[in-house]
Structures are given as C-alpha cells and as structure tokens.
Amino acid sequence: MPHVITSPCIGVKDQACTEVCPVECIYDGGDQFYIHPDECIDCGACVPACPVSAIFPEEDVPGDQVPFIEKNRAHFGL
C-alpha cells in the first residue's frame, strides 16, 4: 500500500488531497478519505496537500496510527 490516510482526516475531509491526486485514487469513505492501494501511483502529491498531515507512506505511518493501514485495506475489501 503506497500511502495511508490516518485519524486526523476523520471529520475533516478537506479535499485538498483529492484535488491534487493525478489518478483520482482517493475516495470518500464516510468518516474519512481512503487511498485505493491498487490505483495509487505513489507520487506523493497528496502528502503536502493535506492540511491536517494525515497522509503517510505505509512504512512511515506513526505507531499509534498503524491500525489505519488495515482500516484502509478493509475499506477496499483487500
């Protein structure tokens, strides 16, 4: 999974990340946005665009946010 959206997105969903994504792989999941792992091209454009610093490369997800890796996979049934 290239990038993961974590808890700071919950309830915010600013959409700045969706506006800069060149492949439109960020989806509204109700409480937060999710990045489709098979569609993401790992460009990283969404990371600096996020006003709440909620997006991380999977390997850099902070320890307390690791459950969001599985939450993202589960959202897409992976």
pLDDT at 78: 84
DSSP assignment of 28-78 equals E-SSSEEE-TTT-----THHHH-TT--EEEGGG--GGGTHHHHHHHHHTT-
Residue-level pLDDT, tens digit, the chain, 78 residues: 799 999 999 999 999 999 999 999 999 999 999 999 999 999 999 999 999 999 999 999 999 999 999 999 999 998
Domain region containing 58: 3-75
* CATH, residue 30: 3.30.70.20
For the chain, the average pLDDT equals: 96
**23-33 residue pLDDT tens:** 999 999 999 99
Domain count, the chain: 1
pLDDT at 3: 97
pTM of the model: 0.93
Query: Mapping DSSP to helix (H, G, I), strand (E, B) and coil, where does residue 17 land?
Result: helix
